[in-house]
Amino acid sequence: MIEFKNIVKKYRTKTIINHFSLKIDAGELVVFIGPSGCGKTTLLKMINKLIQPTSGHIYVNGSDISAMNPIELRRNIGYVIQNTGLFPHMTIKENVELIPKLKGEDPGDIDKKTRKLLQMVGLDPKEYLNRYPQELSGGQQQRVGVARAFSTDSEIILMDEPFSALDPVTRTTLQDELFTMQKELNKTIIFVTHDMDEAIKIADKICIIKDGDILQYDSPENILKNPANEFVADFIGKRRIWNNPELLTAVDFMIQNPVKITAKRNVLQAIEIMKENKVDSLMVTDKNNFLLGLVTLKGIQLQNRNLSVEALMEKNVLSVSDDANLISVLATMNKHRIGYVPVVNKQNQLIGLITRSSILSALSSQLIDMEVAF
């Protein structure tokens, strides 16, 4: 959909962008993030030809943009910058409708679309359509900026730190609205920010840039879990994963090889295995490692030692799937008042065991949000 191929940008002898190659799929929201001066704005402006690369090519829907008319190209790419760039002497309606009118769209359609977009960004059309930008707060103006970017009907929207001048509350609201609009209208969006929390919140993929190079390009989840190098780890902050507990899944905090026993073994053997491993419960599995049940020391110690585990085990043991997140696992454990829960894969094979202490040791010395605390 959008492809950077071997892009180099030099100002005199200084190389700003260094053989940058990246593919962005249609309908994705990709965030460019990196320290100030790393080349984010430069890359964005190359897509709408406000800046020419020194070498390399950019393709939009497979076509090399170097051959395209810049004005035509820009009409089909929404662009939002930090200080909206609304025209002060035009009303909100005129600002939003500027490009659709230039493109000669049907006036009735334009009017409908404008109202819908204002609604989507949380501005009541009746109240705001005929106002002028200076009568609006910064946050409201930025909302208009977003509505205007979406009004072009372009498949592509470029957003260069659009929310960075806003107060945190407005900013959060706009992030939510952008996320919802993007999913509903299915645009391809490149969003520049230097705020990792913002990136994690809205991105399908994050591209971490430093000195014009890509350090990592992946989903927020994968970047948080597996930062490519020290710089990325520092950049995202070591504790960030703990601020996003929904990104932690069962496999991240389970015990890998829980002590288990097959169903045909007897009570004597079960007690021996427990002693040996210093545990007071065993997962019961069949030869294919399917989870069949669970025996506890309390449940079997007074039983006839020759009885089979199968005869005594608790069946219908509650389990969680390997991709269950920390929040939902904790909710399950709290709801059923259980101190541990086995983890199974899609085939219902036992792959691990979560206990309160396995969670605690995974979280180790990290600060955790009290909301998720036990």
Ligand X SMILES: Nc1ncnc2c1ncn2[C@@H]1O[C@H](COP(=O)(O)OP(=O)(O)O)[C@@H](O)[C@H]1O
CB atoms within 10 A of CB 234: 10
Total residues in contact with Mg ion, by rule CB under 5 A = 1
* Closer Cβ to ligand X, 208 or 313, answer by number: 208
Measured between its terminal Cα atoms, the distance across the chain in Å is: 46
* Closer Cβ to Mg ion, 213 or 252, answer by number: 213
Residues that bind ligand X (CB under 6 A): 11, 16, 36-42
Phi, psi of 59 (to 5 degrees): -115, 135
- Least Å distance, CB 285 to ligand X, is 53
Tell me the C-alpha distance between 178 and 353, whole Å.
39
* Closer Cβ to Mg ion, 33 or 274, answer by number: 33
Tell me the C-alpha distance between 282 and 19, whole Å.
55
* Closer Cβ to ligand X, 9 or 113, answer by number: 9
Q: Look up residue 205 and give its amino acid.
A: K
When CB distances are held under 5 to 8 angstroms depending on the partner's kind, the choice from ligand X, Mg ion, none that residue 11 binds is ligand X
Q: What is the DSSP letter of 134?
A: G
- Least Å distance, CB 37 to ligand X, is 4
Q: Describe the strand order of the beta sheet including 260-262 as a list of residue ranges.
A: 260-262, 281-285, 291-296
Q: Describe the strand order of the beta sheet including 77-80 as a list of residue ranges.
A: 77-80, 156-160, 188-193, 29-33, 205-210, 213-218
Span interacting with Mg ion, options 38-46, 129-137, 313-321, 364-372, rule CB under 5 A: 38-46
* Closer Cβ to ligand X, 209 or 292, answer by number: 209
* Residue 42 touches Mg ion, criterion: CB under 5 A: no
Angle in degrees, CA 305, 309, 311, rounded to 5: 100
- Least Å distance, CB 347 to ligand X, is 46
Radius of gyration of the chain (CA): 28
Tell me the C-alpha distance between 357 and 363, whole Å.
10
* Residue 41 touches Mg ion, criterion: CB under 5 A: yes
Structure tokens at 157: 């929207």
* Closer Cβ to ligand X, 28 or 160, answer by number: 160
* Residue 249 touches Mg ion, criterion: CB under 5 A: no
- Least Å distance, CB 54 to ligand X, is 12
* Closer Cβ to Mg ion, 41 or 95, answer by number: 41
When CB distances are held under 5 to 8 angstroms depending on the partner's kind, the choice from ligand X, Mg ion, none that residue 138 binds is none
When CB distances are held under 5 to 8 angstroms depending on the partner's kind, the choice from ligand X, Mg ion, none that residue 37 binds is ligand X
* Residue 152 touches Mg ion, criterion: CB under 5 A: no
* Closer Cβ to ligand X, 39 or 125, answer by number: 39
Nearest to 61, CA basis, from 29, 90, 23? 23
Q: Look up residue 363 and give its amino acid.
A: L
- Least Å distance, CB 37 to Mg ion, is 8
Tell me the C-alpha distance between 310 and 314, whole Å.
9
Span interacting with Mg ion, options 14-22, 34-42, 73-81, 282-290, rule CB under 5 A: 34-42
When CB distances are held under 5 to 8 angstroms depending on the partner's kind, the choice from ligand X, Mg ion, none that residue 39 binds is ligand X
- Least Å distance, CB 92 to Mg ion, is 26
* Residue 114 touches Mg ion, criterion: CB under 5 A: no
Residue 98, helix vs strand vs coil: helix
When CB distances are held under 5 to 8 angstroms depending on the partner's kind, the choice from Mg ion, ligand X, none that residue 134 binds is none
Angle between helices 92-102 and 138-151 (to 10 degrees): 20
- Least Å distance, CB 10 to ligand X, is 9
CB atoms within 10 A of CB 217: 18
* Closer Cβ to ligand X, 32 or 150, answer by number: 32
- Least Å distance, CB 277 to ligand X, is 54
Structure tokens at 243: 């601020």
Q: What is the DSSP letter of 333?
A: H
- Least Å distance, CB 234 to ligand X, is 18
Using CB under 5 A as the criterion, which residues of the chain lie in contact with Mg ion when the complex forms? 41
